[in-house]
Amino acid sequence: MEAGEKVKELDEIYNEYAEDVFKYVYCLCKNRTLAEELTQETFYQAVKSINRYNGNCKMLVWLCQIAKFSYYKYLEKHKNEILIDNDECKNILGDHNVEETLIQAEDKIYIFKEIHLLEEPYREVFLLRVLGDLSFKNISDILGKNENWARVTYYRAKLKIKESGYGE
């Protein structure tokens, strides 16, 4: 494959997956600027290691794995920074039904604290669904599970938030 063809292929991959990777990273960090940086870092790392992609999983899953690793690496370097930007979250979220009720609640800090305290995979599935506005199918593809697993995990995450005392 010639260099020009390789660049075109990488450009197509970026155009197809950049928005989904951004949404995924944004769900993890809740900060638009950081999500943009980590999205770029994800594709930089993907280009560096493209020959290690063996096709055993979908390209989006592979990219999200790189994005998650990049995010954790960032967290390790910046342990004491606050990453949640509530106003930015509200602007990105748009209209939701049950989720909108949570976001519009007076005590956003409490809600984010409860979400933060959720154990994995509940937190990740909940954030992908609410902040990422991803379908259960997309969530299952990203996490390498089936769609029913994503639905059940999301439902259980909502129950855990409710059981924590939200709304009392």
Span 4-38, pLDDT tens digits: 555 557 778 888 998 989 988 888 888 888 899 99
User: What are 152-163's pLDDT values in tens digits?
Assistant: 898 888 888 777
Q: Write down the domain spans for the chain.
A: 3-77, 86-163
Lowest mean pLDDT: which of 92-96, 105-109, 113-117, 125-129? 92-96
Per 3-state DSSP, what percentage of the chain is helix, strand, and coil (rounded to 5)?
A: 75, 0, 25
CATH number, domain 3-77, options 3.30.70.120, 1.10.1740.10, 3.40.50.1980, 2.60.120.10:
1.10.1740.10
Angle at 80 between CA 22 and CA 34, to 5 degrees: 15
Q: Tell me the mean pLDDT in the region 65-71.
A: 88
Evaluate whether 23 touches 133 at the Cβ level (below 8 Å). yes
Predicted TM-score (pTM) of this structure: 0.51
In three-state secondary structure terms, 57 is coil
- Provide the pLDDT for residue 98: 43
CB 129 within 8 A of CB 136: yes
The domain 86-163: what is its CATH number? 1.10.10.10
